[in-house]
Amino acid sequence: MRIALTGAAGFIGSHVAEAYLAEGHRVVVFDNLSTGWRSHVPEGASLHEVDIHSREFERLIREFRPEVINHHAAQASVKVSTGDPVRDLEANGGGTARVAALAAEVGTRKLIYSGSGGTVYGSPTELPISETQAPHPESPYGLSKWVGEQYIHLFHQLHGLDFTILRYSNAFGPRQDPYGEAGVVAIFTAKMLDGTTCTIDGDGEQRKDYLYVGDIARANVLALDRGSAGTYNIGAGVPTSVNEIFRALQAATGSSLPA
């Protein structure tokens, strides 16, 4: 299968690219490397260093005519979105609209979209969160990711573009950047390996659903042929506290430093 994958030099996108290649698909990847790393792109994937807003990206998609487009390119920082919500909307809402329009134009069979379960829903009214819960974003980032979903729904209605939207919980795993707004697993692991003290906010009993990136990649493989015109929450389904993560990582790294 011919697959175009945006954002493939990032943490999650690179694992999705690996999973597609392992299944024998032809994978062409697109990343402007503004936050991703060339070294993350797996061998066997053809990398084009372009922005999804560029004319060159349009030309390459028209030339490749992918059967599936997997869209992981995004402005992924809540902090950046708060400081510049217009830039955030252009990147996520506008970028997704551009990708969906190209997919419809070249006859792409399906668009797979990387959603954000943690920010689209906002403060949950029920646990576990179901796909029927109404979105209530509490940040410009969460709103722009939801706007991207709405563009996909629109192109489905107007042009029959099939899609699967995958709303991830809190991802962790290899290649996650332990700096900036990275998840607690990556941050704690880096600090323990460096021999520095971890900081736990509050009592450490705050709980979230943490999802291994390999499971996310598997969901993206399954979405190639399943989940037509559907939106799915992708999570482990198990709430885990910060204290539990800290103790597990202490055991894994051999660290004896207290928090």
Q: What are the catalytic residues?
A: 141
Q: Report DSSP letters for 27-95, one per residue.
A: EEEE---SSS-GGGSPTT-EEE---TTSHHHHHHHHHH--SEEEE------HHHHHH-HHHHHIIIIIH
For residues 26 and 10, what is the distance between their CA atoms, to the nearest angstrom?
19
For residues 26 and 168, what is the distance between their CA atoms, to the nearest angstrom?
25
For residues 143 and 121, what is the distance between their CA atoms, to the nearest angstrom?
9
For residues 177 and 120, what is the distance between their CA atoms, to the nearest angstrom?
22
- Regarding beta strands 162-168 and 230-234, do their DSSP bridges make them parallel or antiparallel, or are they unpaired? parallel
At position 230, the amino acid (one-letter code) is G
| Residue keyed to tokens 């490397």 | 33
At position 110, the amino acid (one-letter code) is K
| 242 Cβ contact list (under 8 Å, min separation 6) | 184, 200, 201, 204, 205, 206
